[in-house]
């Protein structure tokens, strides 16, 4: 599909002699990438390295390119959450955020979940928000598959979150909804939906989102801003307007990405001079799509605000107590929340009254007529070795399991974590050597 004429005219003016190389790069096949889920494993014990042809992504230590004909999304390792399929340029954001152990993190525009799953392993708590009601469900599924137990998933406006969670986070990431020019090679819909007015329309919205995001960063905390567009008004322009109205923030100069171009203050009239410390990713310069990112710091130094906590269960229901009595890994810091007939487990039971919440920690399961039925999320987040019963399937049987088939096995009766190579795929219930399949019906392979 042809690129929009007005887009080409603008980029030709901005890039000058580089434009032909830029245009030609958009006609080439895109790069495919996956990122190891450090909640599950690292490169040393990553079994998929023996399945796919992997080449390192230079700006992400857990990121790899793989050939387009190798279907990484159709392997049991993907359903076990060992990796996330992510556009390589987008991996730069998690690297730039550089989450440290014990930090509280907010991913404000989080769907489909690539950046959240990158940010989560070191975080003590991660709040993943998505305003779109359909996209937030996809986000929630990806958080579940990755086994992120220290997460809250919300479906809210940035403004409402800011009023509820002021100065609560060590790092806030804003991967802002944008005109998507960097995705033209990957997604023809982005070309179809683009007009000459799209960048300014998006910029107006980005101004509001970034202003709300700033309210949730503690003094001394970090704010990461990113887009997947080339438009200066959505990149250098946004940062200029933000810095001019938020004197308590500054762009951090870092040499973490020597392979990227610097921000272009000359592309935006009266740009703030420090926008040169942001990063631009061009498809004719790197193996990846168009992207922009910047790291900002809020001046000062202050501990994050202490949130109000919600009521927790003083005594667990008997059916839950019976179910988990032989399961290891529950420590004294864990709290239990009951919402309707569903039980959640978290170290940080935040009072989220008034917010639309899909996940408040780790869902353990549901109370049903005198019995407890474990949630898929529980199997995905808990270490299989902590479970009293687990079963490892061959690759062929794992595929049958993912399709929802019943399997014949030799194992003890009861709820069992179904695994491949000791990585959880979900639950099964064994009775008389028959494994009843409890892989969620909505996730089953066709």
Q: Please list, residue by residue across 128-143, b when 16 or more beta carbons sit within 10 angstroms of its beta carbon and e when fewer do.
A: bbbbeeebbbebbbbb
**Cα separation, 149 vs 161, whole angstroms:** 21
**60 marked among binding-site residues:** no
Kindly provide the residue ranges of all beta strands, DSSP E only, lying in 265-355, ordered along the sequence.
279-281, 291-298, 335-339, 342-346
User: How does DSSP assign 149-172, residue by residue?
Assistant: -SEEEE---HHHHHHHSTT-EEEE
Which candidate in 128, 228, 293, 419 is catalytic? 228
111 is in an annotated binding site: yes
Q: Which helix (H) or strand (E) holds 84?
A: strand 83-85
Q: Is 130 annotated as a binding residue?
A: yes
Q: Give the span between the Cα atoms of 46 and 33, in whole angstroms.
A: 15
User: Shortest CA distance to 295 belongs to which of 261, 260, 251, 247?
Assistant: 251
For residue 175, say whether it is annotated as part of any ligand binding site. Answer: yes
Residue pair 349/312 in contact by the 8 Å Cβ criterion? yes
C-alpha to C-alpha distances, 311 to 308, 351, 353, nearest whole angstrom: 10, 8, 11
Query: What does the chain come to in residues?
Result: 446
115 labelled as ligand-binding?
yes
For residue 113, say whether it is annotated as part of any ligand binding site.
Answer: yes
Q: How far is residue 408's CA from residue 436's CA, in Å, rounded to a whole number? A: 9
Q: Examine the residue annotation and report whether 228 is marked as an active-site residue of this protein.
A: yes
- Degrees (nearest 5) of the Cα angle 119, 398, 378? 45
Alpha carbons 262 and 280: distance in angstroms, whole number: 6
Q: Give CA separation, 228 vs 105, 135, 237, 440, in Å.
A: 21, 18, 15, 33
Q: Which residues carry out catalysis?
A: 228
Annotated binding site for S-adenosyl-L-methionine: 109-115, 130, 175
Annotated binding site: 109-115, 130, 175
């Amino acid at each position: 599909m042809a690129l929009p004429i007005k887009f080409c005219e603008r980029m030709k003016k901005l890039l000058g002699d580089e434009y032909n190389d830029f245009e030609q790069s958009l006609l080439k096949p895109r790069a495919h990438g996956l990122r190891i889920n450090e909640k599950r494993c690292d490169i040393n014990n990553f079994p998929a390295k023996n399945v796919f042809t992997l080449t390192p992504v230079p700006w992400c230590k857990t990121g790899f390119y793989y050939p387009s004909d190798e279907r990484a999304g159709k392997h049991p390792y993907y359903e076990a959450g060992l990796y996330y399929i992510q556009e390589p340029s987008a991996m730069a954001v998690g690297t730039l955020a550089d989450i440290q152990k014990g930090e509280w993190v907010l991913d404000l525009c989080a769907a489909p979940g690539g950046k959240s799953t990158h940010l989560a392993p070191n975080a003590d708590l991660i709040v993943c928000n998505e305003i779109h009601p359909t996209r937030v469900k996809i986000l929630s599924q990806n958080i579940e598959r990755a086994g992120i137990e220290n997460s809250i998933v919300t479906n809210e406006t940035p403004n409402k979150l800011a009023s509820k969670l002021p100065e609560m986070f060590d790092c806030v990431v804003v991967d802002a909804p944008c005109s998507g020019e960097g995705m033209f090679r990957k997604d023809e819909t982005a070309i179809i939906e683009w007009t000459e007015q799209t960048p300014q329309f998006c910029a107006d919205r980005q101004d509001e989102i970034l202003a709300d995001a700033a309210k949730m960063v503690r003094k001394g905390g970090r704010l990461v801003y990113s887009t997947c567009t080339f438009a200066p008004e959505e990149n250098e322009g946004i940062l200029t307007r933000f810095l001019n109205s938020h004197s308590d923030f500054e762009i951090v100069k870092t040499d973490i990405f020597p392979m990227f171009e610097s921000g272009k203050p000359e592309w935006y009239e009266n740009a703030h001079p420090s926008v040169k410390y942001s990063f631009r990713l061009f498809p004719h310069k790197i193996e990846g799509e168009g992207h922009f990112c910047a790291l900002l710091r809020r001046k000062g130094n202050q501990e994050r605000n202490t949130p109000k906590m919600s009521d927790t269960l003083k005594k667990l229901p008997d059916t839950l107590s019976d179910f988990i009595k032989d399961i290891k890994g529950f420590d004294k810091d864990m709290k239990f929340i009951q919402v309707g007939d569903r039980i959640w487990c978290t170290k940080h039971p935040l009072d989220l009254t008034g917010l639309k919440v899909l996940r408040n920690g780790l869902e353990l399961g549901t109370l049903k007529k005198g019995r407890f039925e474990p949630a898929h999320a529980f199997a995905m987040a808990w270490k299989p070795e902590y479970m009293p019963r687990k079963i490892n399937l061959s690759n062929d049987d794992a595929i049958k399991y993912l399709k929802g088939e019943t399997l014949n096995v030799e194992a003890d009766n009861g709820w069992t974590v179904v695994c491949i190579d000791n990585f959880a795929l979900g639950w099964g219930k064994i009775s008389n050597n028959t494994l009843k399949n409890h892989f969620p019906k909505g996730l089953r392979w066709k």
